[in-house]
Amino acid sequence: MPIEITDKPLSGARTIHVVSKDGVEAAAVDAPGHSWAKANGFSGQAGRVLVLPDTTGGIAGAMAGTGEETGPLRSLSLGRLGRELPSGDWTFAPGGYDPHLAAFAVLIGSYRFGRYRKENSREIRVQLPAGADLARVTREAEGVCLARDLINTPTSDMGPAELEAAARELAARHKAKIATVEGDALLKQNFPMIHAVGRASASAPRLIDLTWGAKDAPKVTLVGKGVCFDTGGLDIKPASGMLLMKKDMGGAANVLGLASMIMAAKLNVRLRVLIPAVENAISGNAFRPGDVLTSRKGLTVEIGNTDAEGRLVLADALALADEEKPGLLIDMATLTGAARVALGPDLPPFFTDDEALAAALGQAGDTVADPVWRMPLWKPYGKKLSSRIADLNNVTTDGFAGAVTAALFLQRFVENAQSWVHLDVFGWNPVEKPHAPVGGEAQAIRALMHVLESRFAK
């Protein structure tokens, strides 16, 4: 991140004034500053930043507009500061924003994916607003940026092997243990659906298994869909449908970002992260429509569509996670287009039958401006997954309630966990936001972290 947030006083730092819509007159700037704002048509528009000149042609300060946003979203809209502040030292004028979210927004707003091209360098330091926790701001921003980096990296450099390498790097940083079951060893260790989905790829399928924390601490398990590219398999997608399929490992990227936050915060949990990492490719040994696969749990699954592969690899991973009877089991996946039709790209649905968890997660999303929306595990729709020759089909035939039926499919593989929640994320910003460019995005992990901190902080 090109911006440094510091809790040390910055002598001579220029001031950032947070301005709501039509609130310029109330800003504590001098008369020339007000005139400059008027001349530039600045009236506190959301996401707009206006740099204020001094009498010598230098920089006196800046005004950041929040428009009509209120609550946490008002502070998150300050993210554009991260992209537009000139080099130098800066400090926030007091009042009118959440100090933690303001600092966080500036950090993630400065994000640029620079792996393949050079970005203009700036040297910016921002003094931490009073009331914010530097360690928390830093670990949340690092978790978000990790997820973004992983999603933005194309499959040529982020296939199953490279995703494993990223998980190993994270494990090494936090002294976590990590193991991998790869290739035909998946069959020997009873992960047949992960193997079936990934076997057609030149990069072997694998199950990544990371553990961290005291063995006697409460068990929290994260499962992330790691489909590094999805052609659709033999039920091949059209070219337009493949353009963003590098992001089909967005669930894995998000759980790694969340795991990064959990370990950095040293929560009192026994953390386990399971990532089935595969590429749904096409070759002579690709799995076929009409095949029947036997899952780790023993349930047989008829393949109605090879493009509904994410739920297959998740099912084997969830079955493994469930055997350990965790107190909380969370899975995240870029699973269905139906979720986007229902709620769009910015609002991930979640599914759980734990009422207390549902209430806590919904509230957390509002509190930290990381929105989620509960959708129902409507049991009668489970019949749509019936098969004439197997225990269930991986798709329905009528096309209705696709996000709900996908969640119901996954629920069939969870029975021992005390609490389970499934999140169907998009993992991508299709349009620029004040705190985020177009590209890979972390979704719901700050809301989840807020819930976990409330339960497991030491």
Q: Tens of pLDDT along 254-305? A: 999 999 999 999 999 999 999 999 999 999 999 999 999 999 999 999 999 9
Domain containing 100 — which CATH number? 3.40.220.10
* pLDDT surpassing 70 at residue 186: yes
Same domain, 294 and 429: yes
Consecutive H or E run containing 72: helix 71-76
Same domain, 307 and 274: yes
Average pLDDT of the residues in 19-40: 83
Q: Tens of pLDDT along 113-132? A: 999 998 777 889 999 999 99
Same domain, 83 and 146: no
Q: Which of 71, 106, 131 is the last residue of a domain?
A: 131
Structural domain tally of the chain?
A: 2
Q: Which of 83, 99, 131 is the last residue of a domain?
A: 131
pTM score, whole prediction? 0.96
Minimal CA–CA distance to 12: which of 68, 58, 48?
Answer: 58
Range of the domain at 398: 138-456
Same domain, 117 and 175: no
- Among 32-36, 244-248, 308-312, 329-333, whose mean pLDDT is lowest? 32-36
Phi-psi region of 152 (alpha: psi -120 to 50; beta: other; left: phi over 0): alpha
Domain containing 392 — which CATH number? 3.40.630.10
Which one of 112, 125, 136, 237 is the catalytic residue? Answer: 237
Same domain, 64 and 25: yes
Q: For a pLDDT cut of 90, what percent of the chain falls above it? A: 88
362 band by pLDDT with thresholds 50, 70 and 90:
very high
The pLDDT of residue 55: 83
- Among 3-17, 183-197, 344-358, 378-392, whose mean pLDDT is lowest? 3-17
Which one of 311, 340, 412, 446 is the catalytic residue? Answer: 311
Q: Which of 103, 131, 159 is the last residue of a domain?
A: 131
Q: Tens of pLDDT along 53-94? A: 988 889 999 999 998 888 999 999 999 999 999 999 999 998
Same domain, 183 and 66: no
Is 384 annotated as catalytic? no
Same domain, 83 and 181: no
The pLDDT of residue 1: 65
Is 8 annotated as catalytic? no
- Residue 434 has a CB neighbour count (10 Å cut-off) of 25
Same domain, 337 and 440: yes
Burial letters 44-78, b for 16+ CB under 10 A, else e:
bbbbbbbebeeeeeebbbbbbbbbebeebbbbbbb
* pLDDT surpassing 70 at residue 331: yes
306 band by pLDDT with thresholds 50, 70 and 90:
very high
Same domain, 246 and 187: yes
Same domain, 50 and 188: no
Same domain, 103 and 36: yes
290 phi/psi in degrees, rounded to 5: 95, -15
Same domain, 184 and 310: yes
